[in-house]
Amino acid sequence: MKKILATLLATLALVTGAQAAGGGFPLDKFPQERVTNLAALQNGAKLFVNYCLNCHSAAFMRYNRLKDIGLTEEQIKANLLFATEKVGETMVVSLSPKDAKEWFGATPPDLTLVARSRASHSGTGPDYLYTYLRTFYRDDTRPTGWNNLVFPNVGMPHVMWELQGQRAANFVEKADPHDAAKKIHEFERFEQLTPGKMSPQEFDSNMADLVAYLTWMAEPNAQNRVRIGVGVMIFLFGFFFIAWRLNAAFWKDVK
């Protein structure tokens, strides 16, 4: 018994330590209702193709699956089919991994499942992406000229800076709560350097649409799965009630 308790306490200590060590910039809550909004998903698909698909691929998603979010094959061909000529092809890019590693320091990851892979104790994958896309700032010490609060020293430049505008991040120096002899730089606020084509509210809304599309792309059948699950639970509860009443009827005369 003592060994079991010791093992449990050690495991709890490791989990708590890992959570404390993994704590970073707080994540904003992603508006989850966007995932079921077809207009938001269609706008997110447009943003993905125009801004993300230049470097990142989505090798497990085919263009014709976009018909599931209300787009016709003609709309896909006319507005979204830039990297290939066939609607049945996957969303891959022509950028070679060698060139990508040379330019950015690392090969841009495939984004098909990114909304699921970025989940952590700090928040869901969509929470991470929603905050990440909105916290780029100018940093002349970085090779790309950009940095990010959620992903410090990120190799990716801010590809949507024209929409958001250029911003600087202001930090304040504070004592480290774990070591009084050390100083830490804590984020205070953003300073707008140049205006963007969108207002802050419009940019946040568009980033929510983009994350909604990434979330849908990671599991296109999620809504069907939930719907089927609800139906199964209703059936099981109904069957349980019928079985319970039948059991009472069969055994009521047995003494």
pLDDT by 10s per residue, the chain, length 255: 444 444 444 434 433 433 333 347 999 999 999 999 999 999 999 999 999 998 899 999 999 999 999 999 999 998 888 766 788 899 988 777 777 777 777 788 999 999 999 999 989 999 999 999 999 999 999 999 999 999 999 989 999 999 999 999 999 988 877 777 787 889 999 999 999 999 999 999 999 999 999 999 999 987 777 778 888 899 888 988 899 888 888 888 775
121 is in an annotated binding site: no
Q: Is residue 2 part of a domain?
A: no
Q: Is residue 226 part of a domain?
A: yes
Q: Is residue 16 part of a domain?
A: no
Q: Is residue 65 part of a domain?
A: yes
185 is in an annotated binding site: no
CA 239 – CA 113 distance, rounded (Å) = 37
Q: Is residue 189 part of a domain?
A: no
Q: What is the residue type of 139? A: D
Q: What does the buried/exposed string (b/e) look like for 65-98 if buried means 16 or more CB atoms within 10 Å of the residue's CB?
A: bbeebebeeeebeeebbebeeebeebbebebeee
Element (H, E) at 18: helix 2-22
| Contact (Cβ atoms closer than 8 angstroms) between residue 30 and residue 133 | no
CATH number, domain of 43, equals 1.10.760.10
Q: Is residue 18 part of a domain?
A: no
The pTM of the full predicted model, rounded to 2 decimals, is: 0.79
Measured from the Cβ of residue 113, the count of other Cβ atoms closer than 10 Å reads: 17
CA 144 – CA 138 distance, rounded (Å) = 9
Q: Is residue 210 part of a domain?
A: yes
CA 134 – CA 149 distance, rounded (Å) = 9
- The two three-digit tokens of residue 83, written as one number: 């990297």
- Total count of domains within the chain: 1
55 is in an annotated binding site: yes
Host domain of residue 62: 25-138+200-242
Q: Is residue 117 part of a domain?
A: yes
